[in-house]
Amino acid sequence: MCPQGPVLVRGAQRVLDEDGVEHLVTRPVVAVCACDRSARKPWCDGTHKSVRSDRT
Ligand code: FES
């Protein structure tokens, strides 16, 4: 888990999103959004960086 960022998942073959939709994983490591602001959920798109800077 990255502080205020995504959860890095290694070795997964698929990820289920909050609606139960299955997303196939084709990379050895993927970043799953934990801030709920990504436009590409379940994947992190970097939006958490702007959210974090708004709070500091
Ligand atoms: S954790 Fe990166 S966009 Fe949500």
Question: What are the sequence ranges of the domains in the chain?
Answer: 7-55
Residues 9-36 have pLDDT tens digits of 999 999 999 899 999 999 999 999 999 9
7/33 Cα distance (integer angstroms): 7
Token representation of residue 28: 């050895």
Q: For ligand 1, is residue 30 a contact (CB within 6 Å)?
A: no
**Ligand 1 atom closest to the CA of 4, numbered from 1:** 1
pTM for the model: 0.84
Mean pLDDT of the chain: 90
Q: What's the pLDDT score for residue 1?
A: 79
Judge contact between 35 and 49, C-beta under 8 A: no
Q: What's the pLDDT score for residue 7?
A: 96
For residue 3, the CA-to-ligand 1 centroid distance in Å is 11
End-to-end CA, the chain = 20
Q: What's the pLDDT score for residue 10?
A: 96
Give me the percent of the chain exceeding a pLDDT of 90: 79
